[in-house]
Amino acid sequence: MTTQQLFLGIDCGTQGTKAIILDAASGQVLGQGAAAHTMISGANGRREQDTQQWLEAFALATRQALLAANVDGQSILGIGVSGQQHGLVLLDDQGEVLRPAKLWCDTETSAENDRLLTHLGGEKGSLERLGVVIAPGYTVSKLLWTKEQHPVVFSRIARILLPHDYLNFWLTGRACSEYGDASGTGYFNVRTRQWDLQLLRDIDASGRLQAALPELIDAHQAVGAILPAIAAHLGINPNAQVSSGGGDNMMGAIGTGNIQPGAITMSLGSSGTVYAYSDAPKVSPDASVATFCSSSGGWLPLICTMNLTNATGAIRELFDLDLQQFNDLVAQAPIGADGVSMLPFLNGERVPALPHATGSLHGLTLDNLTQANLCRAAVEGTTFGLRYGLDLLRHNGLQSRSICLIGGGSKSAVWRQIVADIMNTPVICTEQSEAAALGAAIQAAWCKSWSNGHEDSLAELCQRCVKLDSSSETLPIAANVAAFQQAYERYQQHVATL
């Protein structure tokens, strides 16, 4: 009987915080917990969250997971934190949060982003300088916005942190960032893996922003030990080590074993993401592909669509359907939804690059206006956005032998078939649908192993802890692939008119 090696993985997302307890020795997930967050929304595209909610959800989800796993928190060896990317958390010199965190899905700073993009020399200039094209959701425009809209808050900034950096700071008292999550700030160079200090000086010549930056650490490095008071509050071993952590996409990559070339992970969450692994920063000339650093030592070329289960969920709520009823209706309607097309850009859109777009329905007639067709059109429309993104990754030379599906949407068998057919690629899910929380726990085990003189490589840990669910494997059906190709071309024509 091998001794258990217990790690806590946390994923702080837009809708809530998930916690899992992983035994890295056996590769088994022993228990899980979850707690919800609420959003502060404004008609101007404001999307913010009260960071105190994250701390409360962290504690609640952790206690649930420990209880479900039936383990003693004193035996937890390490903690890994995954967080929603791009969010801005500002602290004063006492370590207190200055205002609600502005999130990745906030578009209130679009005007500031446009000005910064012009300052960088447009998309081409941004790509050359940073290796990414800054988008409205990125952190950098939030800083300029804060300076102009909240000068008093701005004058008190002592630390600039991303959501997962802030949770690590709360856990350890140390402010640092790792390359993966830092890649999504817009003031970080993904090729050289360094902050772009000049860009921050251009925003504010006083040097305040530069002084507020966290130090950068490698993915395999620990942030430090948990603070005794926080350990007591969470019921966790006070010697537990907090790993570097990372953004939710970077942790999702680890949690799906996407740490070497050839793998593709597709996440069907509130937003949709598709990402692959690369050993080198091969920056795509296409502005929509973000060549972020991974949290496993490489790079993670990624596309993100702003609308996925938020769009299908809106249709579901409109018709007051539960998930089962919704899936049944989607399955009833034919491929192409009898000619009904939905451009599901309810949140604006990043891929295709249409930040100011709104959602629309096309091709409606008296005959095809049914609940089933509208439900199906929402699923197809969101999935076509992911196909558009996958094609961009393929044009950049990335191979996709199979797609690992994660996120809430992946639990739907009808949606899995639609993905396999639209992408013309086999898809499979992992047993553990909370891939980001799992990835965070695996990374914590890797950091612990690294500090113990490399007992386990990351690849060995992924092999042991990431389990594929063979019952979910879904192969494309040739006749469907052809039918979807036609529907996809129709979608592209509608997009072109925008």
Which parts of 142-257 are beta strand (E)? 159-161, 176-178, 188-189, 194-195, 215-217, 222-225, 241-243, 246-247
Is residue 248 flagged as an active site residue? yes
Residues 63, 66, 67, 73: is their CA dihedral positive or negative? negative
Contact 421, 476 (CB under 8 A): yes
Active-site choice (11, 181, 248, 338): 248
- Would you give the distance in Å from CA 379 to the centre of its chain? 20
Contact 336, 380 (CB under 8 A): yes
* Cβ neighbours of residue 114 closer than 8 Å, sequence gap 6 or more: none
What CA–CA distance (Å, rounded) separates 495 from 53? 38
Strands 76-83 and 241-243: parallel
**3-state SS, one letter per residue, for 445-467:** HHHHHHHCCCCCCHHHHHHHHCC
Lookup result for tokens 């960088």: 120
Residues 116, 119, 121, 122: is their CA dihedral positive or negative? positive
- DSSP-based three-state secondary structure for 339: helix
State the virtual CA torsion across 376, 381, 382, 385 in degrees, nearest 10: 150
- DSSP-based three-state secondary structure for 96: coil
Contact 277, 258 (CB under 8 A): yes
- Would you give the distance in Å from CA 41 to the centre of its chain? 20
- Say whether the peptide bond before residue 426 is cis (omega within 30 degrees of 0): no
The residue count for the chain: 498
Contact 109, 117 (CB under 8 A): no
The set of catalytic residues is 248
